Structure 1
């Protein structure tokens, strides 16, 4: 914000109107994260509490609290202090606190990605997770500096003094997204096997990772550009409201990626083949059982999404012959 901004100079549409639109979109994204959480618990009904179940619960709670704080922020300016020309100049406590929760969500998701990279890279070079860890730790230091600088401001006119912290934080977040997405794609690409169906699942996971990484990075870049071009309004703040929601949804989508990719593969299994002609063939029934074992091995390949299992699990050579023969019989 410019230091010369006066209450009478405030354009409601570009300031608190932008915040209202940002909160509305953030509420929609929170609803999407609720759906993602529901899908995860529906597809993981095994008894007991696992690490990733606790992760989903914690992310949902942080996401809900972040939404509550930004809603209170907009309510304070547009409802509680309606027609009060001095209140918009003060920085309400919920505005500062939502920044803290946004940082917690982003750093938490980055740390979860680092944990996944560390698990997947077991037995390989440890340089990659070390590099990613250094990037995330550096990002944490910059985020702490931003929070400290923000809590020193009591009026929006003082925010122009901490623009450097905003640019630096969003820039490091974008860089961390690129490093994490590149690392995960590299690890998945080096885990390819000779089976086309398994490689197809790997490719789909890589697409998930690239798309989610690009989405959060574009949001950060949009906030940087709008802050640099239009520093006297709150459009960049409204975009930042969405950043935490996008991180939660991106991670939950990756947790559910195996479920989404297995929906299509399960429908193309041996049941479709046996029901095609309505003829029972004992030799094909035996091979269908072997194909089920192949599906189990294929699912174990992605078990690192929920467990600490290497993605490069080897599959027995006879399974390749089973797959070839099943494909040849399906064309009869």
Structure 2
């Protein structure tokens, strides 16, 4: 990369921004274990702990990268044409964070879609393909020595960003679709579902935008390091998005009279075999008990078949 010495500032800015997000990750992680450490299932706590470790290692790697180029070799411009191992290894940890978080979200797709194998398989294939490209990129790049040689892996780098953005968008789209279908017509539960939709959208939107920004930077400014300013923060956005969702559960559960009736897994229950020719569509039910009035209980079945306009009126009122 001929202009690598003129764009190291982009890597520095990306590292600083990622460090800021890492600080947010630390606060959210502490908050999670302080509030949910004694009540959550072991696998959710293990997920948070593992991603936090990967997040910390990734921040250390990109900090080493920037320090090596900007501080250690400040008076040696010829060293800027060489690759340092840490900027290559960080791709693996970024991919690992994405794999863990996206796999967790894929399980939500599996449960919320009534175990739809096609949707789950499609989502999982994108997630695994993205991580596979990250692993291949890391292995091949470790055998290179200069930025010019690294240009040979431009296709792999682009694939990582494309697959990541596609997986995030698909997961968010599926979750929003099934959450919207699960509206009950009760103001309390619909408000809660709306908040869950907002979290689903924000989880996929931020990471998709970041991946697309990195991709566009590679295409337009391929001879610079502008793309790393976005890519450095990608894993941090994954982690913070999931932590925000986990840490908001008690506030969301407070909308029900029985907080334990809403699980984070958003388990859904099949109403029986699907019949597309029937006028009564199978519905997705989230395990929520509203207990608003006995009259609401008697009319619950009728509310599930109310048209969309009436459902929106209930939400407004």
TM-score in terms of structure 2 length = 0.81
State the partner residue of 1:300. Answer: 261
- Residue matched to 1:167: 158
CA–CA separation in structure 2 for the residues paired with 1:222 and 1:102: 16
Are the equivalent residues in 1 in contact too, given 2:21–2:237 (CA < 8 A)? yes
Question: What is the count of residue pairs matched by the alignment?
Answer: 282
How far apart are residue 48 of structure 1 and its match? 8.2
1:259, distance to aligned residue in structure 2 (A): 3.0
Structure 2 counterparts to residues 49-128 of structure 1, below 5 A: 50-122=42-114, 124-128=115-119
Question: 1:90 touches 1:155 (CA, 8 Å); kept in 2?
Answer: yes
Over 3 Å counting, the alpha-carbon distance change for 1:200 and 1:95 in structure 2 is same
Mind listing any 5+ residue stretches in structure 2 that lack a counterpart? 270-284, 298-317
Q: Are residues 318 and 29 of structure 1, via their aligned partners in 2, closer, same or farther at CA, if it must alter by over 3 Å?
A: closer
Q: 1:167, 1:176 → 2: CA distance?
A: 14
2:17 is aligned, of 17, 25, 31, to 25
Higher mean C-alpha displacement, 142-151 vs 174-183: 142-151
2: CA distance between counterparts of 1:309 and 1:249? 26
| Match among 177, 181, 199 for residue 190 of structure 1 | 181
How far has the Cα of 1:316 moved from its partner?
A: 7.5
1:234 deviation in Å? 0.7
Q: Give the C-alpha shift of residue 116 in structure 1.
A: 2.2
Residues 316 and 59 of structure 1: is their aligned pair in 2 closer, same or farther, counting only changes over 3 Å?
A: closer
User: Could you tell me whether the CA contact under 8 Å between 1:193 and 1:199 is conserved in 2?
Assistant: yes
Aligned residue in 2 for 1:233:
224
Q: TM-score, normalised by structure 1?
A: 0.77
Which structure shows the bigger proportion of residues in helix conformation? 1
Of 137, 142, 164 in structure 1, the residue corresponding to residue 128 of structure 2 is: 137
Q: Distance in 1 between matches of 2:47 and 2:176?
A: 22
Aligned CA RMSD, in angstroms, stands at 2.4
Return the index of the structure with the highest Cα Rg: 1
Q: Which runs of 5+ in 1 are unaligned?
A: 266-293, 324-332
The 8 Å contact of residues 11 and 66 in structure 2, kept in 1 or not, is answered as: yes
Deviation at residue 63 of structure 1 after TM alignment = 0.5
Inter-CA distance 27–129: structure 2 relative to 1 (3 Å threshold):
same
3-state SS of the aligned residue for 2:183? coil
Secondary structure, counterpart of 1:304 in structure 2? coil
**In 2, Cα distance between equivalents of 1:211 and 1:41:** 23
